[in-house]
Amino acid sequence: MQPFLKEFTKGLWKELPPFRLVLGLCPVLAVTKSADNGLGMGAAVIFVLTLSNLIISLVRHIIPKKVRIACFIAISATLVVAVELLMQAYAYPLYQQLGIFVPLIVVNCLILGRAEAFAAKNPVPLAIADGLGMGMGFAMSLTFIGGLRELLGAGTLFGKYIMWEGFQPFAVMVEAPGAFLCLGLILCAMNAFNHWQARRKGQDAPENPMPGCESCRACSHGK
Amino acid sequence: MEVFQLFISAIFVNNIVLAKYLGMCPYLGCYKERGVALGMGGAVVFFTIMATLCTWYIQKFLLTPFGLDYLQTIAFILVIASLVQFVEMFLKKMVPPLYAALGIFLPLITTNCAVMGVAILVQREAYDLKTSLLYAVAASAGFLLALILMAGLRERLDVCRVPKAMMGTPIALITAGLMSLAFMAFKGMIP
């Protein structure tokens, strides 16, 4: 139980996917116009990530090392098709809102990165814990950014108006530049917090996390 | 005229990186030199056009006639992955100098959402083959433009004094936000 919990909780704070690992940024920027969309996308990613970790961990001894990336992609693509069909059946408005970013979960580096860095090396229960934790961390972060952008850009949260009367929304927050600025400022705050924490413990300040390549390791670039 | 409008719209107004958020990893990631950015961007242009061509035919003659539309995602990603693999093998055997220059980018292309994103976008917009290819050329040219602009900016950023917490990704994202803001101004060009 102890290692299971450890792998589960690391995704929720210590290795929070978009903010600490800086992985899979496309959907983080694209679908966070509202908290609803962020939550929906997050749920889809939890489903795909947990199941792909489970399956990859199950077959990790069978897959030849040379073609492993292709196998991981085939497995996650199958799961993404399942998600698409489920969303079309039960959450069609959300499916239309998320647009091409539902099929693009296939090429999200978070899925491949976790498959390569964790699921292909660890037993099934731990892989499930890792997938669940990372997926929930991702969903949390997406909902947070979505909520923030929605609140500042339209004054609403989950579709309900909650700001005071006469509040002037920053329209730019729900447009394209707002996503970049918002994520940049959140990452900056996260780094500042890390530095402060390290200084309090008397350690050297940690390096700021870099996007994609260094933390993903899904291809030859990360080595 | 329509062709021209599509071109301008795909490069500037609906830039694939700055307005549609595709291909973030290479855009924010590892490319700080303009030469490397040019190599990566060139590879993306080539594969986007090839992938759009292949997937358009697959959709038209395989998926739609047999009612297999729901397999679009899995078919497209497998086509792109094998395309990359074939080109890699071909270059390794036939054009070794080019392989030496572009080889490191090839594995990254499979997981680049710009390539797959354009292939899916042209299907959702139901473009015909000519328009699809034109869109692929324009969209990937927009990607190349954004990548080179960003690499140039980051070369400059390296010699600037940036607050410690802002170093690396945050300042890159803020720069991208300002670039995106600047590109929004092109909206007026399309009636």
CA dihedral of residues B11, B13, B16, B20 (deg, nearest 10): -170
Residues of chain B in contact with residue A107, where contact means CB-CB under 8 angstroms, are 77, 110-113, 116
> Over chain B (191 residues), what is each successive 10-residue block's mean pLDDT?
86 90 80 79 92 95 92 93 89 86 77 90 92 95 92 87 86 91 86 65
- A217 pLDDT band (50/70/90 cuts)? very low
Q: b/e per residue, B98-126, with b = 16+ CB within 10 A?
A: ebeebebbbbbbbbbbbbbbbbbbbbeee
The residues in A 49-78 lying below 8 A from B, measured between CB atoms, are 69-70, 73-74, 77-78
- Tell me if A180 and B180 make a contact (CB, 8 A cut-off): yes
pLDDT at A37: 92
- Contact by Cβ (8 Å): A172, B180: no
Whether the predicted pLDDT of A54 surpasses 90: yes
Element (H, E) at A156: strand A156-157
The residue with tokens 């997926």 is: A135
Q: Is A161 helix (H, G, I), strand (E, B) or coil?
A: strand
Contact A103 B120 (CB under 8 A): yes
**Residues 145-174 in B contacting A (C-alpha not used; CB under 8 Å):** 164-174
According to the model, what pLDDT value does residue A218 have?
46
Q: Which residues pair with A157 in a beta bridge?
A: A160
User: Residue B135: its pLDDT value, please?
Assistant: 95
What's this model's pTM, rounded to 2 decimal places? 0.90
- Which residue in B19, B81, B166 is closest to A73 by CB distance? B81
pLDDT tens sequence across A113-168: 888 888 988 999 999 999 999 999 999 999 999 999 999 998 888 888 888 888 88
* Positive or negative: CA dihedral A206, A30, B29, B119: positive
pLDDT at B159: 87
Helix H or strand E encompassing B18: none
In terms of phi and psi (left: phi > 0; alpha: psi -120 to 50; beta: otherwise), the region of A192 is: alpha
Residues 5 through 44 of chain B touching chain A, CB cutoff 8 Å: 18-26, 28-30
B104 lies within 8 A of chain A by CB: yes
Q: For tokens 């413990």, name the residue.
A: A201
A179 touches chain B (CB under 8 A): yes
Q: Which two tokens stand for residue B94?
A: 């036939």
Distance from C-alpha of B136 to C-alpha of B2, rounded to nearest angstrom = 15
